[in-house]
């Protein structure tokens, strides 16, 4: 390297700030590398090992091992040759694509590198000489030697000529001195001319010598080897090769890249060459060939091991399986880890085959990245750039074509639109098919309905014909239903069912007009209604499914305009789109599928020149194209050019949201412009991104944004009819914020759009049910607000404070009835129209309203509004029945009761609610007595509880359940009031009414003690008669007894028991015997009456448990029959007392019978009878008396008190 070349190289090296990894073999492997140690050990055995192999895949580091070894062993490097054919191109047949070198070409390449390694002077006897630059000094010496040789020869062989020439020279010198100074000038000119001629001669000789050879060779395409002869290469040039190694010190030859040509025969010739050279005695030291090649060069393992004396396997440092770790290390070293993710690295790394490719990928990336991204200032995706660099390294030809906007990659993107059109055609066909199915299914619903209705029309005639008409009623006023309306769905079975069908007309199968009267088809309604509902619901469900599918297809059709190539490949059949040459390129398909190569690829391989737009503008366009969201406030410079460069479809993406762009479009574009329409259309999709743009844009306070606000709201309202619903449903918006948006809508939206926006009545409800709506929108002109109220909304203000609302607005909403009937609104309106009536309005509202000025049309409209059909009910609920409104006047109550005739529930609630209590029932009716209203008055105790009230009601409507209930509820007050002037009819009606409960009638009866019942006792209800008998209304007579007996034995029993002495005196024993059991069971029966019954009746039919228990507590004249009958029906506990009370009646045998039925200790008297055994009893008064009686009748012998206090009774042995 020349002096100046060295200086330039050093300066370039100093200025190289970026450290790029070169692709040359690495000569700096660690000194302890196993491969270096192994290679050194092998070469030390060169006397035995002449053919050594370094085997491993491409890129495994074989060349680096050789380079590092030679660098660490300079002495070995001096005797080593490195032969590599990587620099030699191949002859490529365009037809068969064969890229392998022939053996002749490979041998030529090897021969060239051997002889070109040394200087020609080192092999002077070789026939092969390369072009070289001869030394000028050497040539000069040769020429001087030739001249001197010529002169000496001339002197020796021709002295005469030599002497003659010398004399001539001497004479020339002498004459030249005569010229003086001119002599020296001539001498100088002769020397210069001679030197010039000598220089020309030297160069000519040098050229001749450099081209001179015995036979010319051309190795490869540089040197020629005896074109005139056929002798060449290893076997024919063995003498040259032997001469080379004899005269040089090279003893190790490293062969690289021989395997890439796929010619295995060359290895056989090289081994043969090595063997011959090592046998040459002229070559004093062993010659070693070291081959760096792939493992797959020899298919047969025996060939491989037989050929080489030693094989050193090289494990690749990197391959496709671990390329990710190496690439990740470079990313981290380059501090690009946030921009290049680990997921991306491990996604693309399997396509990187070896370390050399990876190094070059990263080298090129480090060149591209600062130029394409950093220096241009474009917001590009670093991962996509790296993906393109990977593609460039693995498919350089295809990448070069892409840079020229040609090739398979460009074809893919060019074909995208055509494929989209194909997909759209398919989707349109599917949409058309679904629409047909939906229409067909809807027709099926109608047909199913018609079929079922036809069956119904047949069955209504009992299958005698087909019904043509259904009738409700008879004569001219009858209601008719045509069967045609049932078939086409204009009328339903429910319509017939609700009206009630009496008769039908039908056409019989004999084609005669017939009528069926008093037909009952109620069961058919239910039957066919359920069948129609089942058939309809199934079809409607199918229609809904089809409609859902149709919506999905239409959505997909819309989304196709925004679909990227990656999404297209991912979601649609690949075979239908990608060309075969693309599908065969796995890496390209992968990069396209992942979106690493996308529609913006040109931005990653070309310079950006910002003439018509700024760098920031270009970044915005790229962000839109790449669907990367930038801040809404991102500043654009040349907005018009940005808008022009974006397609209409780009305005359907969220990434288009930008304040400057919207300002420009609102200012310059018409409302119907396709781009502006697309922008506005997506703002109504109710996503969070869209709403944030709308809210942030409306919040801008720039002059341009304020100017555009009107147009923005107007076109947005036109496109987005659900806007207010969405705003109202957002939980993050305060009521004040909602009001602000609604105010903008009211100010700037078209009235027709506000009407569409209020289809679901959301705005109307919002104004109706939020407080002080009119005050909150006071900035809106009254004329504008009234226009909206009249033409767009259905508002009923309900919570307004009208104190600051313009009078004209109040008059308008009053006249148009834009207010809800409630206490608040009526109070506010009265306060502005007639303040005097506002006082205490909440306590007696209707009373105040009745005082409105009848001559003021606006005030009277309030009452007319209230009196409308449904409004009166609202007025009752909201105003009259309010908690505090309990002091309405009797006039107001009476008026409301009259107006509420068709609404009995409100009449009842009104009387329940109000606290007014009238003196008489007539106060509550305008004209004639109204039983329903009077009943309500009684029910709610809104009249004083007196005998006068009872008599007033009874005189018009007699006794009713309501009057009974009123009397029962207020019995004490009524009894305490002034005595009613009664009539016999009133008393008789009171007695014979069966509605009284016992307590009430018992309380009322004493009030009529002096009255006699004029009817027959049997007409009095039993419960009333029982009270009257108990209160001794009737003296005891045979006549009354018979009448009472006819009512019931129970009352007859009560009547006898109430008058026992009179009954014993006046009744026959047969009358008494008929009631004997009832009488005997009564606790109030007297002993006299018991004795009468006992004396005249046998106990077997009279005594049961109830009678026995009652008589056991009575004192009467009992005989043995009645004693044992009663004993038999008493419980064990009662039997002993009953026996002890009647011991004087019993003898020994009676006692024995009695003891057989007694429990416990007493039963022992029966068991131990007729023995001398002893029975112990408690020492009680009854038992002492019993023991005395038993001794008297001979049942026992004695009794005594024992030490334990027991009464010991000793039985007697009977004879």
Report phi then psi at 582, rounded to 5.
-75, -45
Query: What was the pLDDT predicted at 202?
Result: 59
The pLDDT tens digits for 722-776 are 999 999 888 878 888 899 999 999 999 999 999 999 988 999 989 988 888 888 8
Using alpha carbons, select from 427, 391, 394 the residue that is nearest to residue 412: 391
Gap between the Cα atoms of 389 and 604, Å rounded: 10
Answer yes or no: are the C-beta atoms of 995 and 1021 closer than 8 Å.
Answer: no
Which of the given ranges, 493-497, 580-584, 962-966, 1148-1152, has the highest pLDDT on average?
A: 1148-1152
CA atoms within 13 Å, Cβ hemisphere of 858? 14
Helix (H, G, I), strand (E, B) or coil at 1075: coil
pLDDT per residue over 301-324, tens digit each? 666 777 788 888 888 877 777 877
Residue with tokens 């010991």: 1208
Q: What is the mean pLDDT of the chain?
A: 79
Q: Is 480 helix (H, G, I), strand (E, B) or coil?
A: strand
The arithmetic mean of pLDDT across residues 854-869, rounded, is 81
Residue 839 has pLDDT above 60, yes or no: yes
Instruction: Give the 3-state secondary structure of residue 555.
Output: helix
Residue 89 has pLDDT above 70, yes or no: no
CATH architecture of the domain 22-129+216-313 equals 3-Layer(aba) Sandwich (3.40)
Percent with pLDDT over 70 in the chain: 85
Q: Name the token pair of 102.
A: 């022939």
Dist CA 356 CA 318 (whole Å):
9
Of the ranges 29-43, 76-90, 270-284, 498-512, which one carries the lowest mean pLDDT score?
A: 76-90
Enumerate residues 6+ apart whose C-beta is below 8 A from 456. 486, 493, 524, 528
Distance, CA of 492 to CA of 452 (rounded, Å): 12
What lies within 8 Å, CB to CB, of 256 at 6+ separation is 62, 63, 66, 82, 83, 84, 85, 86, 292
pLDDT at 715: 93
CA distance 458 to 102: 99
Q: Inform me whether the pLDDT recorded for 5 exceeds 60.
A: no
Tokens of 871: 């409004």
Cα angle for residues 422, 426, 432 (degrees, 5° grid): 140
Q: Are the C-beta atoms of 416 and 568 separated by less than 8 Å?
A: yes
Residue 1016 has pLDDT above 70, yes or no: yes
Between vectors from CA 608 to CA 602 and to CA 612, what angle results, nearest 5°? 120
Q: What is the 3-state secondary structure (H, E, C) of 592-661?
A: HHHCCCCCCHHHHCCCCCCCCCCHHHHHHHHHHHCCCCCCCCCCCCCHHHHHHHCCHHHHHCHHHCCHHH
Strand partners, 54: 292, 312
Angle, helices 136-157/159-178, rounded to nearest 10 degrees: 110
Task: Indicate the SS3 state at residue 883.
Answer: coil
The 10s digit of each residue's pLDDT in 1128-1166 is 898 888 888 998 888 888 888 888 889 888 888 888 888
Cα–Cα dist 583/813, whole Å: 73
Cβ-based neighbour number of residue 375 at 10 Å:
11
Q: Is 242 exposed, middle or buried (0-12, 13-18, 19+ CB in 10 A)?
A: middle
Q: Domain limits of the chain?
A: 22-129+216-313, 144-209, 323-415+577-604, 436-558, 821-916, 1035-1119, 1131-1211
Task: Extract the tokens encoding 716.
Answer: 């947005």
- pLDDT at residue number 4: 42
pLDDT at 210 over 60: no
User: In this structure, is the dihedral angle defined by the CA atoms of residues 829, 834, 838 and 841, taken in order, positive or negative?
Assistant: negative
Walk across the sheet containing 51-55 and list its strands. Answer: 80-84, 252-256, 288-293, 51-55, 310-313
- Nearest-angstrom CA–CA distance, 478 and 458: 23
Gap between the Cα atoms of 388 and 344, Å rounded: 13
Whether 790 shows a pLDDT value over 80: the answer reads: yes
pTM, rounded to two decimals: 0.48
Answer whether residue 146 shows pLDDT above 50: yes
Residue 1070 corresponds to which tokens in the numbers above? 């047969």
Contact 979, 952 (CB under 8 A): no
Specify the pLDDT at position 793.
92
- pLDDT higher than 90, residue 410: no
Model confidence at 717: pLDDT above 90: yes
- The DSSP letter of residue 73 is -
Q: What is the distance between the alpha carbons of residues 104 and 635, in angstroms, rounded to a whole number?
A: 69
1042: Cα within 13 Å, side-chain hemisphere: 6
| The pLDDT of residue 635 | 84
Distance of CA 890 to the CA centre of its chain: 61
For residue 482, the cross-strand partners are 469
Least confident of 201-215, 802-816, 1143-1157: 201-215
Buried/exposed 1016-1035: b ≥16 CB within 10 Å, e otherwise: ebeebbeebbbbbbeeebbe
Residue 42 tokens read as: 């092998």
Beta-carbon contacts of 739 under 8 Å, excluding residues fewer than 6 positions away, are 776, 777
- Confidence (pLDDT) at 220: 40
Residue 302: its pLDDT value, please? 66
């Amino acid at each position: 390297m020349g002096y100046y070349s060295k200086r330039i190289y050093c300066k370039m090296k100093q200025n190289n700030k970026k450290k790029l990894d070169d692709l040359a073999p690495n000569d700096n492997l660690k000194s302890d590398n196993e491969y270096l140690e192994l290679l050194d050990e092998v070469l030390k055995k060169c006397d035995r090992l002449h053919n050594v192999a370094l085997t491993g895949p491409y890129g495994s580091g074989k060349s680096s091992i050789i380079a590092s070894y030679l660098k660490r062993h300079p002495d070995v490097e001096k005797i080593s040759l490195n032969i590599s054919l990587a620099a030699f191109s191949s002859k490529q047949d365009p037809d068969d694509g064969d890229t392998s070198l022939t053996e002749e070409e490979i041998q030529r390449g090897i021969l060239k590198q051997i002889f070109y390694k040394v200087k020609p002077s080192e092999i002077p006897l070789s026939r092969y000489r390369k072009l070289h630059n001869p030394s000028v000094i050497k040539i000069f010496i040769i020429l001087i030697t030739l001249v001197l040789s010529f002169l000496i020869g001339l002197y020796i062989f021709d002295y005469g000529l030599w002497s003659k020439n010398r004399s001539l020279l001497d004479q020339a010198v002498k004459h030249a001195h005569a010229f003086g100074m001119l002599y020296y000038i001539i001498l100088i000119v002769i020397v210069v001319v001679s030197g010039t001629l000598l220089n020309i001669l030297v160069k000519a000789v040098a050229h001749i010598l450099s081209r001179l050879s015995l036979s010319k060779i051309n190795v490869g395409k540089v040197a020629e080897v005896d074109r005139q002869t056929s002798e060449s290469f290893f076997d024919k040039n063995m003498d040259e090769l032997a001469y080379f190694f004899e005269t040089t010190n090279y003893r190790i030859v490293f062969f690289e890249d021989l395997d890439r040509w796929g010619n295995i025969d060359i290895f056989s010739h090289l081994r043969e060459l090595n063997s011959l050279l090592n046998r040459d005695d002229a070559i004093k030291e062993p010659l070693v060939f070291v081959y760096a090649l792939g493992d797959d060069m020899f298919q047969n393992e025996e060939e491989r091991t037989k050929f080489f004396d030693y094989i050193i396997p090289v494990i690749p440092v990197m391959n496709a399986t671990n390329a990710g770790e190496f690439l990740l290390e470079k990313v981290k070293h380059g501090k690009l880890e946030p921009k290049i993710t680990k997921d991306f690295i491990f996604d693309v790394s399997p396509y990187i085959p070896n370390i050399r490719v990876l190094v070059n990928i990263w080298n090129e990336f480090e060149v591209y990245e600062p130029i394409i991204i950093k220096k241009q200032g474009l917001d590009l995706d670093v991962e996509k750039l790296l993906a393109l660099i990977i593609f460039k390294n693995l498919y350089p030809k295809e990448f070069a074509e892409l840079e020229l906007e040609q090739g398979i990659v460009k074809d893919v993107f060019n074909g995208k639109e055509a494929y989209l059109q194909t997909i759209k055609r398919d989707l349109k066909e599917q949409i058309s098919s679904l629409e047909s199915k939906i229409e067909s299914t809807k027709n099926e619903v109608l047909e199913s309905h018609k079929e079922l209705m036809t069956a119904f029309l047949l069955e209504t005639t009992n299958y005698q014909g087909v019904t043509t008409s259904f009738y409700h009623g008879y004569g001219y006023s009858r209601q008719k239903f045509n069967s045609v309306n049932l078939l086409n769905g204009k009328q339903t079975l429910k319509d017939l069912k609700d009206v009630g069908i009496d008769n039908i007309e039908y056409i019989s199968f004999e084609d005669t007009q017939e009528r069926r009267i008093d037909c009952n088809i109620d069961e058919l309604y239910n039957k066919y209604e359920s069948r129609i509902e089942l058939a309809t619901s199934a079809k409607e469900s199918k229609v809904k499914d089809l409609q859902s599918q149709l919506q999905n297809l239409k959505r997909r059709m819309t989304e196709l305009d925004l679909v990227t190539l990656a999404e297209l490949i991912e979601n649609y059949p690949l075979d239908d789109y990608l060309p075969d040459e693309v599908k065969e390129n796995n890496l390209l398909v992968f990069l396209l599928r992942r979106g690493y190569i996308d529609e913006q690829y040109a931005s990653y391989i070309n310079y950006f020149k910002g003439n018509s737009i700024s760098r920031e503008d270009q970044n915005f366009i790229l962000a839109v194209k790449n669907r990367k969201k930038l801040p809404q406030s991102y500043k654009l410079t040349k907005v018009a050019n940005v808008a022009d460069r974006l397609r209409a479809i780009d305005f359907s993406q969220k990434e288009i949201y930008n304040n400057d762009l919207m300002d420009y479009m609102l200012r310059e574009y018409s409302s119907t412009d396709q781009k502006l329409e697309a922008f506005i259309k997506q703002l109504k999709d109710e996503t969070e991104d869209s709403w944030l743009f709308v809210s942030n844009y409306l919040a801008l306070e720039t002059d341009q944004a304020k100017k555009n606000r009107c147009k923005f709201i107007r076109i947005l309202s036109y496109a987005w009819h659900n806007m207010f619903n969405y705003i109202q449903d957002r939980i993050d918006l305060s009521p004040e914020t909602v009001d602000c948006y609604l105010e903008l809508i009211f100010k700037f939206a078209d009235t027709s759009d506000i009407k569409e926006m209020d289809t679901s009545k959301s705005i109307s409800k919002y104004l109706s049910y939020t407080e002080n709506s009119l005050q909150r929108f006071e900035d809106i002109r009254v004329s504008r607000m009234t226009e909206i109220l009249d033409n767009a909304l259905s508002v009923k203000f309900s919570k307004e404070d009208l104190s600051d609302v313009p009078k004209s607005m109040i008059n308008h909403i009053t006249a148009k009835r834009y207010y809800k009937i409630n206490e608040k609104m009526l109070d506010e309106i009265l306060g502005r129209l007639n303040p005097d009536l506002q006082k205490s309005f909440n306590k007696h509202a209707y009373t105040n309203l009745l005082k409105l000025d009848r001559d003021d049309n606006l005030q009277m409209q309030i009452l007319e509004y209230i009196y409308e059909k449904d409004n009166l009910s609202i007025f009752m609920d909201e105003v009259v029945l309010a908690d505090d409104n309990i002091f309405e006047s009797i006039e107001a109550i009476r008026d409301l009761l009259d107006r509420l005739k068709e609404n009995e529930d409100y009449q009842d609630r009104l009387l329940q609610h109000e606290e007014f209590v009238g003196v008489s029932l007539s106060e509550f009716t305008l004209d004639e007595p109204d039983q329903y209203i009077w009943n309500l008055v009684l029910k709610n105790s809104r009249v004083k509880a007196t005998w006068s009230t009872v008599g007033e009601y009874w005189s018009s409507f007699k006794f009713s359940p309501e009057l009974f209930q009123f009397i029962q509820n207020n019995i004490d007050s009524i009894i305490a009031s002034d005595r009613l002037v009664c009539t016999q009819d009133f008393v008789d009606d009171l007695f014979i009414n069966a509605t009284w409960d016992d307590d009430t009638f018992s309380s009322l009866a004493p009030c009529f003690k002096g009255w006699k019942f004029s009817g027959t006792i049997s007409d009095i209800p039993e419960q009333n008669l029982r009270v009257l008998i108990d209160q001794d209304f009737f003296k005891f007579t045979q006549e009354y007894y018979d009448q009472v007996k006819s009512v019931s034995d129970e009352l007859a029993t009560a009547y006898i028991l109430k008058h026992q002495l009179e009954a014993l005196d006046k009744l026959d024993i047969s009358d008494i015997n008929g009631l004997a059991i009832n009488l005997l069971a009564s606790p109030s029966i007297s002993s006299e009456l018991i004795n009468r019954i006992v004396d005249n009746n046998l106990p077997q039919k009279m005594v049961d448990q109830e009678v026995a228990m009652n008589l056991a507590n009575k004192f009467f004249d009992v005989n043995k029959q009645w004693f044992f009958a009663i004993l038999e029906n008493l419980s064990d506990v009662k039997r002993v007392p009953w026996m002890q009370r009647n011991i004087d009646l019993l003898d020994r045998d009676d006692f024995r019978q009695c003891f057989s039925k007694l429990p416990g200790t007493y039963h022992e008297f029966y068991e131990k009878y007729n023995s001398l055994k002893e029975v112990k009893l408690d020492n009680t008064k009854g038992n002492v008396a019993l023991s005395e009686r038993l001794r008297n009748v001979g049942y026992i012998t004695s009794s005594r008190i024992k030490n334990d206090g027991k009464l010991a009774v000793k039985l007697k042995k009977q004879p």
